[in-house]
Structure 1
Amino acid sequence: MTHQQEPGDLEKRRRDLEAALALRKPKVPSDAGGAKTGGVGGFGNALRLSSEFIAGILVGAGLGWFIDRMAGTSPWGLIIFLLLGFGAGILNVLRSAGLVAEFGSKAPEKGGSDPREKK
């Protein structure tokens, strides 16, 4: 038994499907900054985070190389400070992303405002 569908049935099903999809579509906030917030803003954030990570590694490697040259401890200073630079780079990225609080800062009180804000 094959059931042939009328063109009107297909059009009704298409409209019903569009209506159902429109209900499930996430709402876009009206104050969104347009196309710039999605693509370019994310790219800039990625560049900032990656440069902080690479800077930590380069500073650690440079300090290790310098200490090896002055103290004659090659390659141990480079190895140790390269690992320390790697850890510092990860910490810098986490701080910039807002996943780790700054050293010495207190968590905001439950009352509302951030204690670091000046009144």
Structure 2
Amino acid sequence: MADPTKRNGENGQEPTSSDDANLTARLKSLDARIDQASAQRARTTGSPSRTKSDSSALGQAFRLSAEFVSGVAAGGIVGWIVDHLFGVSPWGLIVCLILGFCAGMLNLLRAAGVVKGARYDEKR
């Protein structure tokens, strides 16, 4: 049965000191080339500084969908409460759902940066 610890072509020979020296020299050469390549990559690409507003696309999608859904859900809940308190079913729910949809769209546009916030003061 073949010995799995031996490599092909060794024929049971022990590694010599010259083999170890060659391997060590190749390893040092490879390490130096890796250091040079990483230093060159760092110079060409620079260090990318991430800001707070720079988020991943998936995170941005979840945030925008949460802004919209929360507005519609809040409108639905308020509409359901209005219906039960005042007995105007289904008009409270319909009106509040429409208002929740509008609020969700406004929040969505504000979060995306298309519309400025409500307390935007232009300083001159």
User: Hey, what does 1:104 align to over in structure 2?
Assistant: 119
Q: How many Å apart are 1:52 and its aligned residue?
A: 0.8
* Counterpart check, 1:79 vs 2:94: yes
Identical-residue share of aligned pairs (%):
43
Distance in 2 between the 1:31 and 1:107 partners?
34
Q: What secondary structure, in the 3-state scheme, does the structure 2 residue paired with 1:105 have? A: coil
Distance in 2 between the 1:31 and 1:42 partners?
21
The amino acid that maps onto 2:94 is: I
* TM-score, normalising length: structure 2: 0.55
Q: How many Å apart are 1:31 and its aligned residue?
A: 5.2
Distance in 2 between the 1:60 and 1:46 partners?
22
- Aligned residue pairs: how many? 77
* Counterpart check, 1:62 vs 2:77: yes
Q: How big is each residue's C-alpha offset from its partner over 1:67-101, in whole Å with a ceiling of 9 and x where there is no partner?
A: 00000000000000000000000000100011101
Q: RMSD of the TM alignment (CA)?
A: 2.3
- After superposition, the Cα gap between the structure-2 partners of 1:92 and 1:71, relative to the gap in structure 1 and judged at 3 Å, is same
- After superposition, the Cα gap between the structure-2 partners of 1:108 and 1:96, relative to the gap in structure 1 and judged at 3 Å, is farther
* Counterpart check, 1:52 vs 2:64: no
Q: Which runs of 5+ in 1 are unaligned?
A: 1-28, 34-39, 110-119
Matches for 1:1-80 after TM superposition, within 5 Å? 41-80=56-95
Structure 1 or 2, whichever has the larger Rg, is: 2
Q: Which runs of 5+ in 2 are unaligned?
A: 1-44, 50-54
